[in-house]
A and B are shown apart, each in its own frame.
Chain A
């Protein structure tokens, strides 16, 4: 099974900051990577698919990059609504696996 490792586990930042979350796959997954945002008590929300494609309706301050085994999610200028937990997920083959999550906190 492919393992997904995110870093950091927790990130403290301020409104307006630029932040980057990293996700590493245990083997190459080409660009078959998605990013989700989850707020407490809510279902995950798709942000990015195919490593860098922005899901419809998602603000352009979110961007994704990478291929193979190394990927990043960047938020260019943090807004109050962005404080949440973020998960990467590969969909190269089953079983799909998620990273352990990165909790983005207000500094």
Chain B
């Protein structure tokens, strides 16, 4: 069974940093591209970042470019999102999502909540 489990969310002050993790199981992790997608409270979905299966190709939304860094460790079946210089508008539930064979997000984690507030 495919599983994606996010962790690392919490309350952080504006300007602070946080590192999210996504632990994967039930599939050949190194063969799949992955993304982070977020959802602010009561709002819609926003794609944040993408990483290729090898980790060599990275893409970011303009809203996080230069502040967030996506990475992966295929030996540990894990995806990460390093978030620096956090702003109030980064407050959201962050989901990791697998890009399946049809090139869409076929599996999602349950999400981890990041709250940026003083």
On A, residues with C-beta under 8 Å from B are 1, 32, 34, 36, 38, 42-46, 49-50, 53, 55, 87, 89, 91, 94-101
Contact = CB atoms under 8 A, between A and B. Distances in A.
Contacts of B111: 43
Please report whether the interface of chain B is mostly helix, strand, loop or mixed according to DSSP: strand
Given A44-B37, A98-B46, 13 more contacts: A32-B103, A34-B105, A42-B110, A49-B102, A49-B104, A50-B102, A55-B102, A55-B106, A95-B47, A96-B35, A96-B47, A100-B44, A101-B45
25 contacts: A34-B105, A36-B45, A36-B105, A42-B110, A43-B95, A44-B37, A44-B105, A46-B105, A49-B104, A53-B102, A87-B45, A89-B45, A89-B47, A91-B103, A94-B47, A94-B50, A94-B59, A95-B47, A95-B62, A96-B35, A96-B47, A97-B47, A98-B45, A99-B44, A100-B44
Contacts of A94: 47, 50, 59
A102 to B, nearest CB: 10
Interface residues of B, number: 20
Contacts of A97: 47
Contacts of B61: 95
A46 B59 contact: no
A99 B102 CA distance: 20
B47 A98 contact: yes
A71 B29 CA distance: 32
A103 to B, nearest CB: 11
B62 to A, nearest CB: 7
Contacts of A55: 102, 106
